[in-house]
Structure 1
Amino acid sequence: MATDQIPYSETNYYTKLILDYLEEKKDLQKFYNRFPKPENFKAQIEEKRQNYDHGIRKDLVEVLRKQYSDLKVTSAVSDNLDLLQSDKTFTVVTGHQLNLFTGPLYFLYKIVSTINLTVRLKKEYSEYDFVPVYWMATEDHDFEEINFFNLNGKKFKWNNADVRAGNAAVGSLSTSGLEDVFKLFAAEIGGGANADYLKELFEHAYLKHTNLTDATRYIANELFGEQGLVILAAGTPDLKKHFRDYIKNEFAEQSSHKYSSSTAGEFEELGYNVQVNPREINLFYLTDEFRERIIKQDDNFYVHGTEISCTRQELFGEVDKHPERFSPNVMMRPLYQEVILPNLCYIGGGGELAYWLELKEYFKSQKITFPMLLLRNSALLQSVKQDEKRRKLNISLSELFLKQHELINRKVRQISNINIDLSGQKEHLKEQFKNMYDLAEKTDPSFLGAVKAQEVKQLKGLDNLEKRLLRAQKRKLKDEVERIASLQNELFPNRGLQERQTNFSEYYAEYGQELIDTLLEELNPLDANFKIITFGKE
C-alpha cells in the first residue's frame, strides 16, 4: 500500500472560493474566525467554553443514550458519552444525508476526517477531550438525493418508497420496500468473507430497522463504533427546546436572511458564486406527514401547500409547546448545531463550506461562536495494477484528473513520431501578417479589414489541419488511446470524482477492513492535499 498526493488546485474539481479559502486569501478572511491550524484551536476552545451553554450537556447526553439504547455500544462510544458531560470536552462535527447504503465513498472520508482530527487535537491539547460527531440529516426531505447508490457501474434505486416521500422528512421514512434493493445488492456483491459481512451489515440495517434514521445509525455505528464516533439525530423536543429563542427570532426579525444576504452580495462582488440564497424565513413546519416552508404574509404565517395559518402569537405558542415541529433549513441548521453542541470545528465538502462561509455575520448577530471550517479529506483509490498501467502510459498523477479529451490529446502529441503541434507555424503566420498590416496602413487603411479576414482564414485552416492530423494519429495509435480511456474510466466513473460516484462496498468487498484501517491511517484532515491511495503490493 502506498499513498501519493497532489494539491487540490491540480485536480480541476474545486471552485475558486475553496481554493482561495485553502490559501487563506485576504479577501476571504472576514468570513471566518480562525483557519483550522493546530495552533488556532486553543483560542477556539476558550471562546466556545465561555460562549456555550453547558447546561445543555445533560439533555444532550440523555438524548444520545436513548438513541443508542438498541445498539451495541462500544467502550469508546460509551466513554465519549460520559466525556460529553464535562465542560472540558468539545466536539468536532461532520454532517451527512441518510444516503441509501451510505451513498458515495465520501461518506467514509467525512467521518474519518472527523475522527482523525479529534485524535490530533487530543495530542495537541491533552488537558481537554474531543469527541467526533456524525450529525444525521434526518429532517431533510429531498428523497431523490438519497434514494440510490452506484456499485460496479450500476445504479441501484429505491423505487418502492413511502408514498409520502415527496415531502416527508427522510429520517422518518419506513424501510418497507428495501427488501428488493437488498436482494439486488446481495446478488451484485457476490460471495467471500468481505461480501458476506456487507450483506449482513445492510440486511440488519434495512430489514431489521423500521425507519431510515435507525438504519443509518446502525451502519455508522458498526463501521466506526470502535473509533468512538457519536451519532446524533437532533430533531428531538429535548434538544429543540434549546433553540426556541432562535426560532422566534427568525420569525420576528428574519435575521438569517438579513445577515446572510449581505454576505452573499459581498461574495458576488468578489467574483465568487453564491452557494445558497436564503429565504425570508429559513424554517419548515415538520410533521409525520410533511415538511413544508413557513411563509409570512402581512402579520400572519402560513405553511406552504397546506391550509395551516396562524398569527404571530399563536405561532410563538406552538414554538413553546412543540419546538420539534420547527425544522431549520440549510441556512439555520448550522446555528442549531452550534447552539446545542460544544463544537469547535465543522468538517464538510466544498459545497458545504461555501454556504457556511455565508453565515458568520448571522452567527455574530445571534451571539453564537462561529466554528472553524475544515475541508474534508478527498482521495482516489486504485490498485497496484491500475497504478502500473498509469506508469506504463506515462501519465502523471495530475494528468489523471484532466478531462478525457484533454488527456488523450496531450498523450497522443507526446507519443507521436511526427510533430502535430502547429503552434510554431501559427506564430510564424502571425508575424508575416504583421508586415501585411504595416503595408496596408501605409498604402490604404481600408485594406486592414481584408488583411484581418485573410489572417483569420489561414489560421483557421491551420487549426483544421492540426485537428485532422490529431484525428489521424488517434486512429494510428488506437490501442494507446483505448488504454488511456479505459484506465481513466475505471478511476473516474461517469467522468467524475470516484468519491462522488462509487459506493464504498465496491472496495470493501475487495479489501475488507483494510479499507477503513488504511483511511484512518492515511487521511490527515489538516493536510490540504488530494490523496491517491494504492492498495496491494508491488
Structure 2
Amino acid sequence: MTSTNFYELPSSQPLSDAYVKQTDSRLNALFHSGHPADEEHWRARSSRLDGAKELRVPSADIADALRRYNARFGMSQETAANIEAIGQGAQVVVGGQQAGLWTGPILVIHKAVTIIAAAKHASKVLNRAVVPVFWIAGEDHDWDEANHITAATEQGLRKLAVTRPEGPRTSVSRTAVAPEAWESAIAELETVLTGSEFKEPLLDKLRELTKSAKTLSDGFAGILAWLFGGYGLVLIDADDAAVRALEAPMFRRMLADNDALEAAYTANGQMLDSLGYRMQAAAAPDCANLFLFRDGGSSSGLQGDRVLLYKRDGGFTDKKGESFWSADELLSLADSSPGQFSNNVLTRPIMQDYLFPVLAAVLGAGEIAYWAQIGGAFRHFGMEMPILVPRMSFTLVEGTIAKHMMKYDLTFDDVVRRFEERKQQWLMAQDRFDIAGRFGAAKRDFESLYAPLVELAGEVQAGLAALGTTNMNKILEQIDFLQNRTQDAFRKSHDASIRHWDRIGTAIWPGGKPQERVLNMTAYYNRYGTDWLAKLLALPYVPSGEHQIVYL
C-alpha cells in the first residue's frame, strides 16, 4: 500500500483557498453549483443537467467528433465505451491543460488522475455512468510555455525544448513539429535520463508516438492516451476542426451578445473586489474574449496568427488595430468558418458546458480564481456553473530521497520553507575547525595591530596613511582568499553529503517551486515504469485537493 501524508503548501490564492476550505460563505453567490465535498450538490447538479439538454450540442454529435479524434491515438476499449456513453447522454467530469512537450510539468498528470478519480467518485454517488474527459487546450498560442520540460540532472535543473518553426504566431495545435525536431529532443532526453530497465522502452515509445505526431498537441494526446487509455480517459482538442464545427452556434451567440457578456464579467469582477479578492483574469475594456485566426484558420488551410478581438466602432479589431471586421462579417464567419475562432480563459468554460453535460470541472488554484468571474456569463446563456473540483496535488518522494532526509533529520516542511538555512546549519556543525570563526578572529587581530601602524605612518607623512590603508586592505583580501580556499577544501571533503542535500532540494522543491510545477513525468517513468502512476490512481479521491506527499 502506498504511504502518503498530507501537507498544506504555501498558497498565493486566497480566493481559491476560501472556496476549497469553505471559509467564506459570501462566495456561494459566485460558485453557485455547490462544493464537491457535499454529495447532495453532485445530485442536484446532475438533476439540473438532465433538465437542460436543449442548451447543449446533441450528445451523438459530440460523441462522433470524439470518436474520430481519439481513434487517431490508438483509442482503448475503455475510452471507446466511454465515448459511446457520452453519445447516450452520460455526464462528464472535465479538466484540461495547454498541450506541452511530453505532457509538460507533472501537475498535468495529477490533473488527469483527479479527473479520473472525481468521475469515479461521482459515478458512485449518482449510481450512473460519469465519464472522465481531458480538454487539451491546443488553441493556445504560447509556444514558449508549451515547448519544453525541465529535467533534474547531477548538475542541476536543465531545460529541454523544441524550437518553434518559422511562421505566424498561431495555436500550438496548428504549429508543425518536424520529425528531426522530435528526434533531436528525444536524443537530448536520452542523455539526461539515468540508466534503468525502463529507459529504452520509454524512449522507444516516445519515438513511436512522435512518428505520427505533427504537432505538440498530437504528441501530448498520444502520451495521455497511452498512460490513461486503460482508465477510459476521453481526449478532446479544443482546436479540433470537428469540434469547432459544433461550436459555431455558440460563437455566433458570443459575438452577438458580446456587450452583455462583458457586462457580466465586469459585474462579477466588481463583486470580487467588494468582497476583498483580486481578479485573476482582469478583462480589458471592450475585449471580446474571443480569438480569431486572422489569415484563414484551419477551414481555409492557412495557419494564421491568432489575435484577441476588441470591440471598436460597431465592429471588431485586433489589439494593435491592424485589421477590422464588421459585426456582420464575424457573424457570417462564425456560421461558415468556425475554425477561425477560439476562446480565451473567460469564454472557454462556457463553450465547454455547451459541448458537454459538465457535472464538474477539475481546476487548479489559479483556474478556480478566474472561474469566480464567470458565473454571470453562464447565467446569461441560461446555464449554471458546474461543481469546481480542486486538482489533487502530489509530491513524489523516492526511497533514496526519503533516506537522505532521515539521515540529515529533514522534514518535508524543512525542505519547503527553510532548506538553505538547514543546509548551512548542517555544514557549520561539521566544521570542527571553526574556519569562519578563526579566520574572523585573525582579521580582527591583524586590524587591531596594523591600524596603529597606518596611523603612525600618516603622522610621519600624510600621504602614507592612504598607502597604509591600501596595503592593509590587500592583506585582508589575501586572508579572505585563504579563508575561501580553506572553506572550499572543507566543502570538498563533504562533497558526497552536499550532493545528497542538492538531490533532496532538486527532487522535492526544484528551483524553489513545488515539484509538480517543474519536473516532468519522464523522470519517474524512467525509474518506475507505470508503478508510480498506478499508485496515484489507486489513492482515494480527495475533494479538497489537499496536497499529498507520496512515498514511492
Note the alpha carbon deviations across 1:258-311, whole angstroms, 9 max, x for none.
212222233233332321112321111122221112222212322455854332
Alignment match, 1:21: 19
Does the CA-based 8 Å contact 2:46-2:359 persist in structure 1?
Answer: yes
Counterpart AA for 2:19: Y
**How far is the alpha carbon of 1:219 from its aligned partner?**
1.1
**How far is the alpha carbon of 1:191 from its aligned partner?**
4.3
**How far is the alpha carbon of 1:5 from its aligned partner?**
2.3
Aligned equivalents of 1:163, 1:239: Cα separation in 2? 27
Does the CA-based 8 Å contact 2:152-2:506 persist in structure 1?
Answer: no
Alignment match, 1:109: 110
Does the CA-based 8 Å contact 2:152-2:507 persist in structure 1?
Answer: no
Does the CA-based 8 Å contact 1:60-1:340 persist in structure 2?
Answer: yes
- CA 68–398 in structure 1, closer or farther in 2 if over 3 Å, else same: same
- CA 482–310 in structure 1, closer or farther in 2 if over 3 Å, else same: closer
One of 509, 526, 529 as aligned partner of 1:492: 509
One of 251, 260, 279 as aligned partner of 1:274: 279
- CA 215–490 in structure 1, closer or farther in 2 if over 3 Å, else same: closer
Counterpart AA for 1:382: V
Alignment match, 1:52: 53
Q: Is 2:145 aligned against 1:145?
A: yes
Q: Is 2:367 aligned against 1:352?
A: yes
One of 142, 145, 161 as aligned partner of 1:158: 161
Q: Is 2:211 aligned against 1:196?
A: no
Note the alpha carbon deviations across 1:476-524, whole angstroms, 9 max, x for none.
x987999666533431111110000001111111111101101101252
- CA 411–363 in structure 1, closer or farther in 2 if over 3 Å, else same: farther
Counterpart AA for 1:495: G
Does the CA-based 8 Å contact 1:138-1:235 persist in structure 2?
Answer: yes
Aligned equivalents of 2:241, 2:516: Cα separation in 1? 35
**How far is the alpha carbon of 1:328 from its aligned partner?**
0.9
Alignment match, 2:483: none
Note the alpha carbon deviations across 1:226-282, whole angstroms, 9 max, x for none.
000000013345433444444334334333322122222332333323211123211
Aligned equivalents of 1:313, 1:289: Cα separation in 2? 21
Alignment match, 2:41: 40
Partner of 2:277: helix, strand, or coil?
Answer: coil
Does the CA-based 8 Å contact 1:140-1:170 persist in structure 2?
Answer: yes
**How far is the alpha carbon of 1:401 from its aligned partner?**
2.3
Q: Is 2:139 aligned against 1:134?
A: no
**What stretches of structure 2 of length at least 5 have no aligned partner?**
298-302, 432-486
Aligned equivalents of 2:194, 2:424: Cα separation in 1? 38
Aligned equivalents of 1:213, 1:22: Cα separation in 2? 31
Does the CA-based 8 Å contact 2:149-2:161 persist in structure 1?
Answer: no
Alignment match, 1:283: 290
Q: Is 2:364 aligned against 1:362?
A: no
One of 323, 330, 336 as aligned partner of 1:315: 330
- CA 198–414 in structure 1, closer or farther in 2 if over 3 Å, else same: same
Q: Is 2:182 aligned against 1:184?
A: no
Aligned residues: 473
- CA 505–362 in structure 1, closer or farther in 2 if over 3 Å, else same: same
**How far is the alpha carbon of 1:350 from its aligned partner?**
0.9
- CA 312–227 in structure 1, closer or farther in 2 if over 3 Å, else same: same
Counterpart AA for 1:161: R
TM-score with structure 2 length normalisation?
0.79
**What stretches of structure 1 of length at least 5 have no aligned partner?**
417-473
**How far is the alpha carbon of 1:59 from its aligned partner?**
1.3
Note the alpha carbon deviations across 1:107-150, whole angstroms, 9 max, x for none.
11000111111122222222x21111010111000111111101
Partner of 1:402: helix, strand, or coil?
Answer: helix
Does the CA-based 8 Å contact 1:148-1:155 persist in structure 2?
Answer: no
Q: Is 2:527 aligned against 1:510?
A: yes
Note the alpha carbon deviations across 1:31-77, whole angstroms, 9 max, x for none.
10211123321001011121233652111111112113333222101
One of 220, 225, 238 as aligned partner of 2:224: 220
Partner of 1:526: helix, strand, or coil?
Answer: coil
Counterpart AA for 1:312: A
Alignment match, 1:263: 268
Aligned equivalents of 2:278, 2:5: Cα separation in 1? 27
Q: Is 2:406 aligned against 1:401?
A: no
Does the CA-based 8 Å contact 2:147-2:163 persist in structure 1?
Answer: no
- CA 484–237 in structure 1, closer or farther in 2 if over 3 Å, else same: closer
Does the CA-based 8 Å contact 2:249-2:335 persist in structure 1?
Answer: no
Does the CA-based 8 Å contact 1:141-1:170 persist in structure 2?
Answer: yes
Partner of 1:84: helix, strand, or coil?
Answer: helix
**How far is the alpha carbon of 1:7 from its aligned partner?**
4.3
Alignment match, 2:539: 522
Partner of 2:189: helix, strand, or coil?
Answer: helix
Which one has a bigger Cα radius of gyration? 2
Alignment match, 1:461: none
Percent identity for Structure 1 against Structure 2: 21
Aligned equivalents of 2:422, 2:390: Cα separation in 1? 27
Counterpart AA for 1:19: D
Counterpart AA for 2:289: N
Counterpart AA for 2:548: K
Alignment match, 1:98: 99
Aligned equivalents of 2:279, 2:505: Cα separation in 1? 31
Alignment match, 1:331: 346
Aligned equivalents of 1:181, 1:243: Cα separation in 2? 35
Note the alpha carbon deviations across 1:69-107, whole angstroms, 9 max, x for none.
3332221011111111123x1100111111111111111
Aligned equivalents of 1:138, 1:529: Cα separation in 2? 28
TM-score with structure 1 length normalisation?
0.81
Does the CA-based 8 Å contact 2:261-2:380 persist in structure 1?
Answer: no
**How far is the alpha carbon of 1:190 from its aligned partner?**
4.7
Alignment match, 2:549: 532
Counterpart AA for 1:358: Q
**How far is the alpha carbon of 1:365 from its aligned partner?**
1.4
